[in-house]
Structure 1
Amino acid sequence: MKTIAINQYGPSTAFKPLELPQPTPTADEVLVEIHAFSINPMDVAGRQGQLGAPFTDQWSFPLVLGWDFAGVIVQVGANVTNLALGDRVFGALASAHAATNGTYGEFVATGTEELAKMPAGLSFDQAAALPIGGMTAYYGMTHSLDLQPGQKILVQGGAGGVGLFAVQIAKALGAEVTTTASASHRDLLLKLGVDQVIDYHETSPADVLHNFDAVFDTVGDVATGLKVLKSDGKLSTIAAQPTRDQQHDQDKQVAFQFTQGSSADLTALADLVVTGKVRVMLTTLPFSAASVSQAHQTIEGHHTTGKQVIHVKD
């Protein structure tokens, strides 16, 4: 099968097209023909050799990176009963996938824990953009923060891959949403329903926001988030480890989020997209080493608005 792989850790230009054997699913797995995959910051860290266990437990070179994907099931393991040949599915691989079983290729073998059927009206490109970024945001709003209608939330970093999902999911849940972003993203975020956009280059949220019920931090600024939060509010961060003092700031609940999404969560997230409550912002690129390199460069340069998706086949 065709893959985009690396033979050593290094720069984004290290990606090369490589023919590798098609993976073989176990009895508890399915084989998916990939139609699209998306690229995440963790892919960049993997390429640079910055991920440790459990990610690298089964890695060697050549290495096929990638976790997010959407495609069609072409083989079903003997123990799998909830999925069938021909099902259109999307999801994310387990963190410790084998070296040649990443999603930067034409096929992938995967378990079903983080796999869901694609609803009608959702394209492969859209579906591939959802699993890690979308699920991180969805898990944060519904599980970590348990966001309720009418509550006030600050999303720090609303224009990134996770932030764009978070602000929309928060609005879909009935919250009052404020976010930080550069001035260039203000109009987009307002069109997506955000109530207030703060230009972090000009204003610190802590100077103008007070008594918020929840903060979702995607930029690693827990200190500012705590200043915005009310005494019994909740802060969830995906970009920093809160200090001991921060974890014991009054009665505030402060924690790093370990996302543990499920098939049911993926289905609920997809339904928000199909019903128009969440808009998937993505840049689609053709299946090539040059495209993967370009996407990595874009993410490294922090120039992304939404997701970078590689379209493999129609």
Structure 2
Amino acid sequence: MKTIAINQYGSADEFTMVDMPTTEPQADEVQVAIHAFSLNPMDIAGRMGALSSPFTDLWAFPLVLGWDFAGVITKMGKAVTGFNIGDAVFGSAAPAHAANNGTYGEFITVNTKELAHLPAGLSFDQAAALPIAGLTAYYGMKHNLKLQSGQKILVQGGAGGVGLFAIQIAKAFGAYVATTASANHRDLLTRLGADEVIDYHETDPAAVLHDYDAVFDTVGDIDTGLKVLKADGQLATIAGQPTDEQQHDQQKKVAFQFTQGSSQDLADLAQLVVSGQVKLTVATLPFSVANVIKGHRSIESRHTTGKIVIHVTD
């Protein structure tokens, strides 16, 4: 199969086209012909050699990166239930996938823990944008913060890939949503449902927001988030490790989020998209080395809004 791989850690220029054998599915796995995959900041870290165990336990060069995908099942292990050959699916590869079993290629072999059927009304390109960023936000709202209708939440970093999902999912749950972003993102975030957009270049969020039930931090500014919370509020961060002092701030709860989503969570998230409650901001590029390099550079610039998807095949 054709893959886009690296032969050493380094810059985006390390990517090259490499032919690799496909991986046969084990009893609890399926093989999927990839129609689309998306790029994530985690991919950048992997390319630069900044990830450690367990991510890198099975890695060697040439290395195929990537976790998010959508495609069609081509082979199945004998213990798999709930799926059939020919099913359109989307999901995420295991964190510690083998070196030749990332998503930057034509096939991937995965277990079904984070695999869901592609619902009618959702394209492969759209579905490939959901798993890591979307599931991170969904898990945060539903399982971690347990957000309820009528509560107030601050999403720090609303214009990023996870932040865009978090704003819309929080609104779908019935919350009042404030977010931080640059001024040039205000119109987009307002259209997506944010009740309040604070330009962090001009205004300290803690100066204008008070007594919030929850904070979802995607930028690593835990101190500001804690100041916004009410006494028994809760903060979840995906961008920093809380200090001992931050973890003992009055009755406030603060913790790093370890996302442990499920197939059902993916299916529920997809339905939010199909129903129009979550709108996707996706830039789609054809499958090529040049476009993967372009996508990585765009993410590294920190000016990407939404998700970058690489379209492999129709």
TM-score, normalising length from structure 1? 0.99
* Aligned residue in 1 for 2:301: 301
Alignment partner of 1:193 is 2:193: yes
Alignment partner of 1:236 is 2:236: yes
Alignment partner of 1:85 is 2:74: no
Alignment partner of 1:219 is 2:219: yes
Deviation digits for residues 244-301 of structure 1 (CA, Å, limit 9, x no counterpart)? 1111101111100000000000000000000000001111011001111111001111
2:169 counterpart SS class: helix
Shift of 1:22: 1.4
TM-score, normalising length from structure 2? 0.99
Shift of 1:6: 0.4
Deviation digits for residues 22-62 of structure 1 (CA, Å, limit 9, x no counterpart)? 12111110000000000100000000000000000000000
1:108 counterpart SS class: strand
Alignment partner of 1:248 is 2:248: yes
Alignment partner of 1:11 is 2:11: yes
One-letter code aligned to 2:71: G
Deviation digits for residues 182-209 of structure 1 (CA, Å, limit 9, x no counterpart)? 0010000001111000000000101111
Distance 2:52 2:163 in 1: 25
Distance 1:126 1:88 in 2: 13
Shift of 1:221: 0.3
- Unaligned 5+ residue runs, structure 2? none
* Aligned residue in 1 for 2:158: 158
- Unaligned 5+ residue runs, structure 1? none
The 4+ residue runs of structure 1 with deviation greater than 3 A are none
Distance 2:114 2:130 in 1: 12
Distance 1:138 1:252 in 2: 21
One-letter code aligned to 1:168: Q
Alignment partner of 1:140 is 2:167: no
Distance 1:238 1:143 in 2: 14
Distance 1:151 1:206 in 2: 18
Distance 1:26 1:62 in 2: 22
* Aligned residue in 2 for 1:25: 25
One-letter code aligned to 2:264: A
Alignment RMSD: 0.5
* Aligned residue in 1 for 2:173: 173
Identity of aligned residues (%): 70
Alignment partner of 1:122 is 2:122: yes
1:162 counterpart SS class: helix
Distance 2:291 2:14 in 1: 12
Number of equivalences: 314
Distance 1:74 1:269 in 2: 24
Alignment partner of 1:54 is 2:77: no
